[in-house]
Amino acid sequence: MNYRHGFHAGNAGDVLKHLALAFIIERLKAKPAPITVIDSHAGAGLYALDAEGGEWRDGIGRLLAHDVATWPAAARPYAETLGQDPMLYPGSPLVALRLLRDEDRLIACESEEEVAEDLRFAVAHDPRAAVHRRDGWSALRAFLPVKTGRSLVLIDPPFEAADEFSLLADHLAMAARRASTAIVIGWYPVKGRQAADRLHESLRQSGIPKVLAVEFLTQPDHDPARFAGSGLIVVRPPWQFDTAMAEDLPRLLDMMDRAGTGKVRVEWLTGETLED
Identify the helix (H) or strand (E) that includes residue 78: helix 76-80
Judge whether 81 lies within some domain: yes
Query: Do residues 211 and 233 touch, judged by C-beta distance below 8 A?
Result: yes
Judge whether 130 lies within some domain: yes
Residues 6+ apart with CB under 8 A from 118: 44, 45, 46
pLDDT of residue 276: 40
- C-alpha–C-alpha distance, residues 6 and 141, integer Å: 26
pLDDT of residue 2: 39
Judge whether 168 lies within some domain: yes
pLDDT of residue 52: 66
Q: Looking at the annotation, which residues are catalytic?
A: 156
The CA-CA-CA angle for residues 111, 115, 120, to 5°, reads 100
| CATH code for the domain of 255 | 3.40.50.150
pLDDT of residue 241: 97
pLDDT of residue 1: 39
Judge whether 264 lies within some domain: yes
Give the predicted TM-score (pTM) of the model.
Answer: 0.94
pLDDT of residue 22: 98
Q: Which residues of the chain are modeled with pLDDT < 50?
A: 1-3, 275-276
Segment 228-251, tens digit of pLDDT = 999 999 999 999 999 999 999 999
Segment 84-94, tens digit of pLDDT = 898 899 999 99
Judge whether 206 lies within some domain: yes
Judge whether 6 lies within some domain: no
Judge whether 231 lies within some domain: no
How far from each other are the two terminal CA atoms of the chain, in whole angstroms?
A: 37
pLDDT of residue 147: 84
Judge whether 5 lies within some domain: no
151-to-16, 23, 25, 39, 233 alpha-carbon distances in Å: 20, 15, 10, 11, 16
- C-alpha–C-alpha distance, residues 87 and 96, integer Å: 18
Q: What domain range includes position 45?
A: 12-223+237-270
Name the nearest CA neighbour of 38 among 144, 119, 176, 186.
Answer: 144
Q: Total structural domains in the chain?
A: 1
User: What's the alpha-carbon Rg for the chain, to the nearest Å?
Assistant: 17
